[in-house]
Structure 1
């Protein structure tokens, strides 16, 4: 397709550059026969050639725009796909530090800047380059002396263009940074609008937004001032050059050193010569903006996942569900281990509850078991296979985590239940909901399973969202299910409803439950009490209560809270 574009561009520019020459021929060759013999044929032939050149230029131009648009859209589709795929592949550690506003800025405003360059920038650059080179060559060919005078403007144009290129590069890099700040603050404010309104934060948020918005305005004004200096500067050089050529050319014509047709062609070519300089200034605008955007996109695409896919993955077609931690050490901050040296085995089919104070390492252990992170030392194994040797798809098929956020996506209840198994039939979806006792509740909704959950499940209560999340996990049918504070946001009636569903979800599979509410812990076969990343108590819930240790203290405090 690019080869076709090159041919079309060459045809268009040859046709366009031929017109001033044909005007010269019309003056010098077409007009004298009319004055001498009233012979119109030479002039009519030249006029016909002008019309043909105009038609070729128009057709070639149209074809070029279509091909350019097609190529640009192919590039943009692939770029958006790569960025989206790469963001999904990056580990949670990256997304915990890279704000959602910056993610949106990369996929929207930065891609839009590149889109503008592909749609308009290259068109102007290619046309300008061919026009400048072609016009300079034709001017020297028509008359070497007059052409040399016309091209004396070259050094001035080069200095002016180089200044604009350097200054606009700095300016547009700042512009991309400022627009990212606007998007980040807007997304964070709207994403947390409930907290904003609850704490009457609107006025302060408006102050911050006004500040970053004003910074963006100021950065754009700098860019506009540069254009306001560059474009008039080009026009000044161009008009002075045309005046000099007209004066010097008229003197040469008076001495019969050049013809009037050559002088007319020179003036027409000079107009064509300086017009592309305006296109180049516009191209610099779009190019610098796109270049700054591309730097940011490249920075994202250069990020390597903290949990890379194995080069030679081990096949694990089925899993019993044994999870083992061997000498596992993990630290978020170097030198400050959250898990200093953990050895732990969870047999297949066992339900284990993790309890302990905040910061004890419970959620970290769950993230390692799902391979959201890799241990700093040691190994985490599923049925004897190091998680680092399992392909991501295989691991997610066998190990699933349900968190307290229980995120629901735009769509229906059925869509959200089959999230982990997109190919599941409607009968499978209903069976999963029925097994958890949620079928009647769902059918009572306005459209049953086709009820739209609204933004992030806002149409459902916390308990209903949790039941949908459990149905999703039940339908996915993993060998290992990890529940990270999955019932912490529920009221007591909702929790009782979910507790019954939990017993169904956990039956026949390995389960790791992280909970502060000990009502959830009571269904566990085994309780691990963690403190500073170490297991300080391990046993059945009833045995630990009877032993009178840390778990007994936690259990007593929980019972007192219910009174």
Structure 2
């Protein structure tokens, strides 16, 4: 069952993954990286569109037909002026016919109604399409972030993850809800207008092509600068959000160390960076939009001048000139509108880069290809030639061979950084070893399903995190569907029942976020009850008694003596009083076990544990 020791899978996830984390803050990506990011973002968009292809095709058809109906108006007016009105006057013998004029008016009204109805249709269809895509993306981000390994969450701050789920998805929502439909309808409208102008008069079409050159150059100038500006805006926005979340999350530490002024200064600096980045993009837009308006009005004036002379020469009819003027004016209207949404497009593109980068992160702890079932775990743990390092960093745990029989209570002691918590995280499979294998009842942890592993191994950490909800709901996390009697029995076992009963609503008391209504020691007791209710084969307590006072710790120790009798327990503690209930003590230093024995044997000796125990006794005096 032993396995060889490649470095952690996915620790170096390649350029795309790097771009999604640290590289996303680089404002000047080289061309190759930029293309890779663009391909990654487009691939994400395609995957979101794939389940909604039918609605997407319907939306495109509605856009095309509605814009064709809109463009028909000036051509119908030209026909009415140049043909329907003369037909109304008739020839020299009289007998004019109103039919062409009525036909022109009816056709114009029909085109207007059709354009309005189809526009309403594609706006609604676009909204349904965008919301379906956003729902899919929100679910993906949440589920994928939960699936990622602990290594990712320890290097990727919670503020950045929240920014992906909130501000970045909001930027995408703005684009998908109205931006893409406006860009698509504007582009189709411009295409149909250009075709209509060439159909009416190719000379005016040539003038329009000449005007298109400065418009294209201005657009390219804006595109290059706005891309950098909006990426900078997204980065500074994310930094501002991260700082705010960290400040509010750690508000107790802020108050305790009087950090309000310092944090306010940093917030002012980040807010000023965001203001400057936003102002740069606004200033670019302030040049782009007036430039487009100037080009459009100049083109209309040129068409009027050239067309007016041609009407005088008889080379162009009045109705056709009017239609050409209307078309030329309308040709530049979508450009102005598209320029407004280009801001949203750039912002959403930058957001899409970050979200696609997050989704490309690969879990370093992966589910097995061929899982082995372990329904009734006994709790025997074996370290077989285990080595561990974080990514490509130095070795934290040198080669280790260790056997812990089922049902044994083992205490891990040693100085900070000795490797105790790393050992526990390997048993809980928060990380995989870089070499060798960790076995549970002879089965490599990498071959177990997440369900079997989490049922067999439970870890209680120092943090004792409580979710919003009642005390009973937090305890029941260890065993979903547990009865009130089972929840109360678990609380009694760890000495938590009395203080829970004293709460305003007992077990139904809402602890609020992070357990705001209970003390740190009480939160720890609730987390113990949660772990004991799960009834795992292996229970890991990582500095779990550090938040308890002496009386509470003694209550917990009484519960531990009762409940740890038939299961394997690994207790990591600096308080040596917690070690007294252990069957065996492992003393660690520099990632290695340097002493191994019963508490009594090691206390009576002259080694590290004896020295630690003597120092602890002196501290009590």
TM-score by length of 1: 0.97
Q: Which residue of 2 aligns with 1:352?
A: 410
1:154-191 deviation line (CA, Å, top 9, x unaligned)? 11111111111111111111111111111111111111
The answer to whether the 8 A contact 2:411-2:573 is kept is: yes
Moved more, 68-77 or 419-428: 419-428
Shift of 1:436: 3.2
Q: 1:3 aligns with which of 42, 54, 57?
A: 57
Separation in 2 of the partners of 1:436 and 1:91?
Answer: 30
Kindly provide the CA deviation profile for residues 194-230 of structure 1, in whole angstroms up to 9, marking residues without a partner as x.
1111111111111111111111111111101111111
Q: Provide the C-alpha distance between the structure 2 equivalents of 1:7 and 1:150, rounded to a whole number of angstroms.
A: 27
CA contact (8 A) 1:400 1:473 kept: yes
CA distance in 2 between partners of 1:372 and 1:442 (Å): 31
The answer for unaligned runs of 5 or more in structure 1 is: none
- Is the contact between residue 387 and residue 395 of structure 2 (CA under 8 Å) also seen in structure 1? yes
Among 418, 439, 443, the residue aligned to 2:501: 443
> How far is 1:552 from its partner?
2.0
Q: CA deviation at 1:149?
A: 2.2
Which residue in the other structure is 1:92 paired with? 150
Q: Which runs of 5+ in 2 are unaligned?
A: 1-54
Residue 16 (1) aligns with residue 70 (2): yes
Partners in 2 of 1:194 and 1:393 — Cα distance? 36
Q: CA deviation at 1:145?
A: 1.9
Answer whether contact 1:8 1:63 (CA < 8 A) is retained.
yes
1:413–1:453 CA contact under 8 A, matched in 2? yes
Match in the other structure for 2:239: 181
How far has the Cα of 1:246 moved from its partner? 0.7
Q: How does 1:376-395 map to 2 (within 5 A)?
A: 376-395=434-453
Aligned partner (choices 551, 565, 569) of residue 493 of structure 1:
551
Task: Answer with 238-247 or 275-284: which moved more.
Answer: 275-284
Q: Report the count of equivalent residues.
A: 563
For 1:426 and 1:35, the matched residues in 2 are separated by: 93
CA distance in 2 between counterparts of 1:64 and 1:479 reads 58
CA contact (8 A) 1:105 1:183 kept: yes
For residue 517 of structure 2, give the secondary structure of its aligned residue in structure 1: coil
- Larger relative contact order, structure 1 or 2 (CA cutoff 8 Å, min sep 6): 2
Q: Does 1:47 align with 2:105?
A: yes
**Shift in Å at residue 268 of structure 1?**
1.2
In structure 1, the residue matched to 2:115 is 57
Q: Deviations over 1:32-56 (max 9, x none)?
A: 2444567544323322222221111
| Deviation, structure 1 residue 334 | 4.4
CA contact under 8 A between 1:168 and 1:284: conserved in structure 2? no
Segment of structure 1 superposing worse, 402-411 or 308-317:
308-317
> Which has the higher mean CA deviation after the structures are superposed, 481-490 or 532-541?
532-541
Partners of 2:474 and 2:530 within 8 A in 1: yes
Match of 1:421 among 454, 466, 479: 479
Contact 1:436/1:504 (CA < 8 Å) preserved in 2?
A: no
Instruction: Give the aligned partner of residue 173 of structure 2.
Output: 115
Q: Alpha-carbon deviation of 1:10?
A: 1.9
Distance 2:198 2:394 in 1: 73
**Alignment equivalent of 1:433, drawn from 488, 491, 501:** 491
Q: What's 1:238 paired with?
A: 296
SS at match of 2:604: helix
* Deviation per residue, 1:297-324 (Å, 9 max, x gap): 1222222112122222222222111111
Cα distance in 2 for partners of 1:426, 1:25 equals: 82
Deviation at 1:292, TM superposition (A): 0.9
**Matched position secondary structure for 2:245:** helix
TM-fit CA distance, 1:440: 3.8
Q: Match for residue 598 of structure 2?
A: 540
Q: 1: CA distance between counterparts of 2:607 and 2:206?
A: 97
**1:77-105 deviations in whole A, cap 9, x for unaligned?**
11111111121122111111111111111
Change (3 A) 1:196 1:164: same
1:157 equivalenced with 2:215 (yes/no):
yes
Q: Give per-residue Cα distances to partners, 1:473-528, cap 9 Å, x unaligned.
A: 11211111100000012222222232223234423111000001111111111111
Once the two structures are TM-superposed, the CA of residue 279 in structure 1 deviates from its matched residue by 2.3
Contact 1:470/1:505 (8 A) holds in 2:
no
- CA separation of 1:335/1:152 partners in 2, compared to 1, >3 Å: closer, same or farther? closer
5 Å-filtered alignment, 1:513-528, equals: 513-528=571-586
- 8 Å contact from structure 2 (residues 486, 533) kept in 1: yes
Matched position secondary structure for 1:433? helix
1:236-385 matches, cutoff 5 A = 236-332=294-390, 334=392, 336-385=394-443
Counterpart CA distance in 1 for 2:139 and 2:444 is 31
Q: Deviations over 1:315-354 (max 9, x none)?
A: 2222111111111111237463221121111111111000
**1:283 and 1:43 mapped to 2: Cα distance?**
39
1:251-291 residue CA offsets vs partner (Å, 9 max, x unmatched): 11112211111111111111221011112212321111111
CA distance in 2, matches of 1:110, 1:504: 50
Q: Does residue 564 of structure 2 align to residue 510 of structure 1?
A: no
Q: Deviations over 1:127-156 (max 9, x none)?
A: 111111111111101112222223321111
| Distance across 2 between alignment mates of 1:9 and 1:43 | 29
Q: Note if 1:401 corresponds to 2:459.
A: yes
Distance 1:198 1:175 in 2: 33
Question: Which structure 2 residues correspond to residues 72-221 of structure 1 after superposition, within 5 A?
Answer: 72-221=130-279
Cα RMSD, aligned residues only: 1.6
Deviation larger for 30-39 or 434-443: 30-39
Given that 2:495 and 2:556 are in contact with CA atoms closer than 8 Å, whether structure 1 keeps it comes out as no
1:457 to 487, 500, 515: 515
Shift of 1:391: 2.1
SS at match of 1:530: strand
The TM-score with structure 2 as length reference comes to 0.88
